[in-house]
Structure 1
C-alpha cells in the first residue's frame, strides 16, 4: 500500500465525465428528508465534493470548451440541464427496491464467496438496503480510525520531533509524527518534517554553546504497550508494516534496502547521528534508548503536517503506519496511555458519542488484522455522520481524502473494467487482504440521488481476489448508473 501520486488523468475523454457528476451532486443535495439544518449540512457536504472534483483537472479549451469559465466581467445566463430540471421538483431518498434490484446482479456473483455484507443509505436516515452481518473490513477500517482522529484531535494539531540536551547528553524525542522523513522531499504531499533539517538546527544550537561532541539518546516513550500487534501475521514483520513507535522515519523503512526496520526507533536515531556527523558533531558511542531528563534544554524541533492533512493522505493511499500512529494518538487524546488498546477504546468512545454502532471486534487502526469484524452499517453510519455534520466540524475532512474512482489514490487504476458511469461518481475507501475485498464511500446516482455504501466480501476463494474486486467495482458502478430515487 505504497504511496502513489493522488492525481491521475486519463485524458480529455475522462475529464468530460466530470460534468455529469457535478450536476448530479448539486441537484441531489436536497435528497434527504430531515430537519432543515441537517439538510443544509448535507447540501454543503455534497457541494464540497463538487469543489474537490472540479480541482482534479483544469478544463481543456480544445476538448471541453463549455467548462472553461468566461473572462472576468462577462456574465452568462445559467443553463439548467434536463436532469437538474427534473430534480427541482423534489429530491427523494433512495428506493430500497431500486437499490436491491441494482445490486442483485453484481453481488450475486459466486466469485464473491460465501459471505457478502452490504449496506446502502441516503445521506441521513435508515439503510435503504442491507444484507449480511459483520465481516473482515481490511483497510476500510481506516475510515473508523480517520473519524476518531478527526473527532478527537483538532485538524490543525501537529506532532513535534524534538531534540533536548542535558550538558553533553542529547536526546532525540519522538512525537508520533507518522510522516517524518530522513531528508527533505519537495514533492511529498503533504509537506513533511525531516531529520536532515532537525540535524542542521541541532548542530547550529550546539555550536552556539561551544559543544561539538555529544552522547546521543533517543526517547520513544510517548506511546506505550507492544509496538507489534499480536493479531498481525508474522509474515508481515519486516515487510508489510513496521513495529509502531513514536519515533519512525520513512514509514519505518531502513535507510538502505527495502522492507521495514525491525527497530524503527533505533533506525531513526542512527540516521540522525549520521546527519549530525555530517554537520561536524562528534557522536560518542552509538545511540541508546534514554528518556529525556526533566528540565532538559530544548535545542531544536520540526513539526508534522496538520492532522487534517495526515488523514487526507492516509485515506488516499491507505497508509498502514499512519493509521496505527493516529490510533495511538486517539488513545492519548481520550485519556489513555498511547497503546493500541487505548486507541481502540478511544475509537469505541467516539463512535458511541456519535451514535454509530461500534465494531464487533476491533484490533488495530489499519485493518491489517484479520480479527477485526465490522458491520457495513457501521461504515455507512460514519459516512452519514460526517455528511450531516456542521460546516465547521472537523469530520467534514473525511470526504476530501476518499479516492475518486478512476482518478486518485488507491482507486487511480480501478474501475477500468466497470461501466463508465462510475468514473468520477464514486468516492470510496478500499480494503484489500488475501481473500478479502471491501469498498465503502459515497456515490451519486444518475438521477442525482446521493448515497453512502459499504460493500464487503471476506470469504473469497484463492486466486479469485482480483475478479472479486472487479465485481465490487461493478456494484458501485451500478449504483452510480441507477435511478435509485424513490420517484425513479
Structure 2
C-alpha cells in the first residue's frame, strides 16, 4: 500500500504550477485593466493608465419606442347591432302602444339609433333637466341660507336694552313690546326639525331648526332679550305653491307638499304633509325657542324687516349633494325647490312658469334641443309634460357631471329593487339610470357600457301602458337595458 506521504510528495509540483499560473493570469488581467500602473512607475509619480479610447464602447442611444401595432380607432356603436339586440323587446305588448328608445355613443356624443315617434310623458326622468340646469346655473358648491333677523326698524333694538345704557326706571307705563324677530326662509329643501341621530345619518347632511334656535336664543340672551314676537317670511318664492297642471289629489292624498321657501322636514307631519308648511316650520321654531328660555308671544307671517340685523343663520347641503338626492331618490319636493332657485339664478320669477323658462334657457345654452317640449314643473309630476327623445338623450349625453349621481341597477336609490328578473343580470352594476313612473307611464334614462366596452347613453320611454301591465312593463324595460349592456355592438 502506498503511503500518504509519498502521494503528497508527488502532488506538490502540480499545486505549485497551478499557483504560478493563477498569479500570472491575474497579473495579465490587472495589467490589461491598468491596475498595476498604480503600483509600478518608472519615476514613482506616474498616474494610473487610462484605458484606450477604443477599448470603451460608446453607450448606444436609447432606441425610439414605436408601438408594435398602431392604436385601433374607436369603432363606435353600430346601429344595426343595437337594433338587433333590443328591437324585438320594444314591440312587447306589456309596453303599450307608444314606446320610444334612443341610444348615443358617449365617446362621440352622437345619437346612433332611435325608435318611436312624437313626444313622451317623461315622469320623473324630467328631474334630469332640473338637475343639469341647477348645477350649471346655480353652481355645484352653492348653499342656501336660512336666517333669523332682529327687526330694528324705528326702535333700533326692538324692545331690548341698548348695551351700555341703564335700564329705564320702573313706572306705571305699559311694558315695552317684546323684541320682534323674523325667520326668513332661504329655500333649503332638506331643512330638518332636529339634529338628532336620524338627521345626522342622512345624506345630504341636513341643517336643522334646532341648530338655528340654539344660536338665536344665545344671541338674544347676550343682548338681554328673553321675550320675542316671531314673524316668518317665505317670500323668496312666488307664484302658486301648487301647480295647476298637477292632479288635485296630489295634495289631498299627501303625495307632495305645496312648494315653499320655508318648510321643515319637507312639510311632513308624521305620514301626512302640511298644507301650510311655512306656518308649520315657524311653529316648530317657536317651540324650540321656548325650550331654550325665550318666551314667544305671537307667531305670524311677516315681511322681511326694512331695517334689521342678522341674529343667526344655518346653511344647507351643497347643490351637488341636493341634486344627487333628487336623482337617486326621485325627490319631488326638492326638485321643485331647485326649479325656483334656477329661476332666481336666471333672473326669472321664482315660480313654476319662471323656473321652466329658466331651465329652457340654461339647457338651450348647453345645446340641448328644446323644440317640441312642453314642460310645467321640475319634478315630472305633471301628466301634461311632454319631451322629445332627442332632448332627453341630449341631457343624458351632455350631463356627464350627473353620471355618478344616477342610481345603480340593483344596488341603490330607485333602482335598488329592480333588475331581479331572469335575463336582467348583465345590467346589474352596469346600468346607471333615472327612473320615471306615473300611472301608465314608465321610463329609464341613463348610461351603461356594452359587452365590448362601448359607453352608451340611452332613453327608454313608454306612456300608454295598461295599468294591469305595470309590473310587466317595468320588467321589460329592465330586460331591454340588460340586452344593451350585453350587446357586442361595436362597428366592424
Residues in 1 aligned to 2:84 and 2:266: alpha-carbon distance in whole angstroms: 44
The whole-number CA distance in structure 1 between the counterparts of 2:296 and 2:109 is 62
The equivalent residue for 1:473 is: 478
Map of 1:270 onto structure 2: 283
Question: Does structure 1 retain, via aligned residues, the 8 Å contact 2:424–2:478?
Answer: no
Q: Tell me which residue corresponds to 1:250.
A: 265
Pairwise mapping of residues 123-162 of structure 1 onto structure 2 (< 5 A)?
A: 123=106, 124-132=108-116, 133-162=118-147
Paired with 1:434 and 1:411, the residues of 2 have a C-alpha distance of 18
Greater relative contact order (CA < 8 Å, ≥ 6 in sequence): 1
Aligned counterpart for 1:303 among listed residues 306, 315, 318? 315
Structure 1 distance, partners of 2:354, 2:105, is 33
- Aligned residue for 2:94, secondary structure, equals helix
Correspondence 1:193 to 2:198: no
Q: 1:90 aligns with which of 56, 68, 73?
A: 73
2:301 aligns with: 289
- In the alignment, the residues of structure 1 paired with residue 183 and residue 258 of structure 2 have an alpha-carbon distance, to the nearest angstrom, of 18
Give the structure 1 partner of residue 186 of structure 2: 175
Q: Quick one: distance in 2 between partners of 1:322 and 1:334?
A: 18
Could you list the per-position Cα deviations for residues 386-423 of structure 1 after superposition, in whole angstroms to 9, with x for gaps in the alignment? 23xxxxxxxx2x11210000111111111111421100
1:117 equivalent to 2:117? Answer no
Which residue in 1 is equivalent to 2:415?
A: 411
TM-score of the aligned structures, taking structure 1 as reference length: 0.78
8 Å contact from structure 1 (residues 87, 448) kept in 2? no
Task: Find 1:340's aligned residue among 352, 357, 370.
Answer: 352
1:32 counterpart residue number = none
- Change over 3 Å in CA distance of 1:87–1:273 after alignment to 2: farther
Q: Which blocks of at least 5 consecutive residues in structure 1 are unaligned?
A: 1-85, 388-395
Task: Tell me the residue number matched to 2:251.
Answer: 237
1:259 is displaced (CA, Å) by 2.3
Which residue of 1 is the match for residue 274 of structure 2?
A: 261
Does 2:373 align with 1:373? no
Q: Distance in 2 between matches of 1:352 and 1:305?
A: 27
Deviation by residue 1:186-233 (Cα, 9 ceiling, x = unmatched): 101111100001000011111111111111110000001001111111
Give distance in 2, aligned partners of 1:363 and 1:87: 52
Contact 1:314 1:401 in 2 (8 A): no
Q: CA shift at 1:324, angstroms?
A: 0.3
Check the 8 A contact 1:115/1:457 in 2, yes or no: yes
- Give the gaps of 5 or more residues in structure 2: 1-68, 152-157, 159-178
Distance in 2 of aligned mates of 1:93 and 1:213: 70
Which residue of structure 1 lines up, in the alignment, with residue 14 of structure 2? none
Q: Deviations over 1:98-136 (max 9, x none)?
A: 111111122110110110011111113432111222100
Counterparts of residues 317-396 of structure 1 (less than 5 Å)? 317-358=329-370, 360-387=373-400, 396=401
Deviation at 1:357, TM superposition (A): 1.1
* Aligned counterparts of 2:424 and 2:239: Cα–Cα separation in 1: 47
- Give yes or no for contact 1:383–1:441 (8 Å, CA) kept in 2: yes
SS of the residue 1:136 aligns to: coil
For residues 370 and 211 of structure 1, what CA distance do their matches in structure 2 show?
Answer: 51
- Answering whether residue 429 of structure 2 is matched by residue 424 of structure 1, we say yes
SS in 1 for 2:461: strand
1:227 aligns with 2:210: no
Instruction: Give the superposition deviation at 1:90.
Output: 3.4
Displacement of 1:169 in angstroms is 0.9
Shift of 1:429: 0.2
Distance 1:87 1:102 in 2: 31
Q: Is the 8 A contact 1:162 1:173 kept in 2?
A: yes
Question: If you compute each CA radius of gyration, which structure gives the higher value, 1 or 2?
Answer: 2
Superposed displacement of residue 326, structure 1: 0.3
**How far off is 1:88 after superposition?**
6.2
Q: Distance in 2 between matches of 1:482 and 1:87?
A: 26
Task: Return the offset for 1:312.
Answer: 1.0
TM-score normalised by structure 2 residue count: 0.78
Task: Check 1:87–1:292 CA distance in 2 against 1; reply closer, same or farther (3 A cut).
Answer: farther
Partners of 1:462 and 1:422 lie apart in 2 by 25
